[in-house]
Amino acid sequence: MSARMKVGAVIITMGNRPDELRALLDSVAKQDGDPVEVVVVGNGSPVPEVPEGVRTVELPENLGIPGGRNVGIEAFGPGGRDVDVLLFLDDDGLLAHHDTAELCREAFAADPRLGIISFRIADPETGVTQRRHVPRLRASDPMRSSRVTTFLGGANAVRTRVFAEVGGLPDAFFYAHEETDLAWRALDAGWMIDYRSDMVLYHPTTAPSRHAVYHRMVARNRVWLARRNLPALLVPVYLGVWMLLTLLRRPSRPALKAWFGGFREGWATPCGPRRPMRWRTVWRLTRLGRPPVI
């Protein structure tokens, strides 16, 4: 069954990493099993030269990370239906092993309720996996695979039936928390998410705060995430916990100002359709080790 599963890959690029993009595409081309069909989306920029057979889509403006990935999904037909599984890979990443696509096929074939797989991200020089790249609260051992409640946006595989059931990523988020929004909707629909330490994407160690809009987007989208997905009773609890955690991390004054500006924006602007998860999903998230209040 796994051999019959068709796998595609979506890569978005700003066109400023041509060497890294070519190395990533080479690592995808070397995957075992049937070839992985690839679409590269130029997110408001031309796509650098790519190997023959790689499809490209060039967008006239930057739609953000979720918007660009949604365009890539649709390049495989509505909801990505032309393939069974889609890999989402950062353009400065590199698949470390040749068996990643085949492992994905085997995992999805073996577990009909598995909807999303989150890969392990490791620094190519040191092999170190940053704690923030392990999508669970108990993140001290990145080599331990487990069920999780969210996933890493630039290193994952999604069964395309998930998109058919719950929709794509939230375009308006632009950057930050779009993965958790999709993860919560998928979990509420009965799908499961696995973190797999043996599926590795090499990626240089970075800090998320390198993005100029980081603090504003993180705060705004956190509010949107809660407003869209949580039962009303949990919205103030979730946001109160995250405000406290933000203050305990003692960000700089400019960062804190940007954060509170984004927090206010999250309440003052439309967040898209509200579909609160069921309480049994809240209990499932709690049993998986991450109740939706943190």
**What residues contact 92, with CB distance under 8 A and at least 6 apart?**
17, 20, 21, 24, 203, 204
pLDDT above 90: residue 62: yes
Q: Where are the alpha helices (DSSP H) in 75-213?
A: 100-110, 160-166, 178-188
Tell me the three state secondary structure of residue 125.
coil
194-222 pLDDT, tens per residue?
999 999 999 998 777 555 589 999 999 99
Structure tokens at 95: 């698949």
Residue 118, CB-side half-sphere exposure with 13 Å CA sphere: 26
Structure tokens at 63: 């739609």
Q: Which residues pair with 95 in a beta bridge?
A: 201
121-142 pLDDT, tens per residue?
999 999 999 999 999 999 999 9
Annotate 2-15 with b (16+ C-beta within 10 A) or e (fewer).
eeebbbbbbbbbeb
Residue 209's pLDDT is 55
Q: Which residues pair with 86 in a beta bridge?
A: 8, 158
Instruction: Return the residue matching tokens 């070839």.
Output: 35
89-116 pLDDT, tens per residue?
999 999 999 999 999 999 999 999 999 9
pLDDT above 80: residue 2: no
Nearest CA among 214, 194, 212 for reference residue 152: 194
214-268 pLDDT, tens per residue?
999 999 999 999 999 999 999 999 999 999 999 999 999 999 999 999 999 999 9
Sign of dihedral through CA atoms 239, 62, 25, 113?
Answer: positive
pLDDT above 60: residue 3: no
Confidence of residue 166 (pLDDT cuts 50, 70, 90): very high
Q: What is the pTM of this model?
A: 0.96
| 224 Rama class: left (phi>0) / alpha (psi -120 to 50) / beta | alpha
Are 179 and 150 spatial neighbours (Cβ–Cβ below 8 Å)?
yes
Q: What is the rounded distance in angstroms from the CA atom of residue 57 to the CA atom of residue 46? A: 9
Structure tokens at 18: 């041509």
Tell me how far the alpha carbon of residue 123 is from its chain's centroid.
18
Provide mean pLDDT across the span 41-46.
98
Provide mean pLDDT across the span 136-150.
96
Q: What is the rounded distance in angstroms from the CA atom of residue 134 to the CA atom of residue 130? A: 7
Determine the angle formed by the axes of helices 235-248 and 214-229, rounding to 10 degrees: 160
**What residues contact 39, with CB distance under 8 A and at least 6 apart?**
8, 9, 10, 11, 54, 55, 56, 57, 72, 75, 76
Residue 213's pLDDT is 85
